[in-house]
A and B are shown apart, each in its own frame.
Chain A
């Protein structure tokens, strides 16, 4: 598994739906028809703020994650990226 670049901007795949659950959340990808899950609410906060954060690291920090948690979230986000649940956000052209 390749490491996820925390300093780039990420987002959920447009065909992914997220449903909060008592233990975290369930994710469903309508394109691949695969299900995945988030094991805690902290990770859910990170995933939900990816779209507006300048980078994945910024999303982790905004969720109050310390160094150790950032490393854990990085591994979880990499699993999600590998199954196409997350996609890198294309940078808007400079003007």
Chain B
């Protein structure tokens, strides 16, 4: 998010926010676990629709509640949210009820007609996900054809006159060398670049070791972010890099349960979008009292709003800006929550990572059972035994044709 005003050091905004707010500022709402893609780093392990998914009416009831709580906007994601048949209906319902919508998509449903519809609505913003500035780098993570799909969607949005939509990139070892190319790509379509951190959440845990930026790339990313300032959005996800020195623009605090939370497709409320695990489950919007009750009174959120001591990081001179980094990154790499981030730029996470034991698994997995990859199959021709009649369609015996003379 962007802040237009800075408080004096004596009453910094982060200190006020640490105690929690009447309602979230950034609420992520994943509408479905269904997805046409199977990105290797999917933070919600999406693929298949969950049969318990909120119905259209239940989703509208959530929007009514968000309007009453004055949640300014929701970040809608998934899964691929646009594959829900009622996606456009829910989008219109939210914006008509003063809840702005920013949604993330791989672009699969952003036809020229859909793009024109979005461009007409001032209360909608779109984020196109792309994890490589070239098809080669992108498709290795997001799947064959996904680069072309994303670029077609961006082209449709630009042609429809949609200004300043977002090109959203998860930074990996393979795309950090492409930062300038991403910026050029965003500029070409009149979009704004948004860079976020790769988390070891969901299927991301399986590929984190190979994909997370190398130490020298973290420095390169930090320098690039400092040079580009507020032109590039980060979702406040790189505050652990503040320990290089100067704070990056944004809030620079872990907002879990304080300013952010996640509503998942079945209505479960988690402390943050990167923490889909029972340890961070605060309640469900279908319970009595709804979302407001969960946000205001869940024991988990109340605990997250208590002052944090810093634990092993308290004596570090950068603790004030880095705050020990990302809770989800620590949790899913098996590190203690009151110690350094696994990607601590002062190097305090490296030894802990080397010594780590068992790593917690996410609570749910909606991955496609069969990944859309070529599978080798061997075809054999069935030869009927010469001394038995061939099995016909009329043979009803379930054991018909079986030869027990092994």
Contacts and interface: CB of A to CB of B under 8 A. Distances in A.
B72 interface: yes
B125 A36 contact: no
Contacts of A19: 22-23, 70, 72
Interface string B1-30: 111110100010100100101110100000
B5 A79 contact: yes
A17 B11 CA distance: 23
Interface string B52-72: 000000000000000000101
A20 interface: yes
Given A23-B16, A36-B4, A28 B23 contact: no
Nearest to B22: A21
A26 interface: yes
Contacts of A23: 16
Given A39-B7, A79-B4, A17 B98 contact: yes
Main secondary structure of the interface of B (DSSP, over half): loop
Interface in B314-362: none
B268 to A, nearest CB: 25
Report the contact-size class of chain A (Cβ under 8 Å from the partner): 20 to 34
Contacts of A15: 122
Give the one of A22, A30, A33 with max B CB within 10 A: A33
Contacts of B22: 19-22
A37 B1 CA distance: 13
Interface of B: 1-5, 7, 11, 13, 16, 19, 21-23, 25, 70, 72-73, 98, 100, 122-123, 125
Interface of A: 15, 17, 19-23, 26, 28, 30-31, 33-37, 39, 79-80, 83, 85
10 contacts: A15-B122, A28-B73, A30-B122, A33-B2, A34-B2, A34-B3, A36-B4, A37-B13, A79-B4, A79-B5
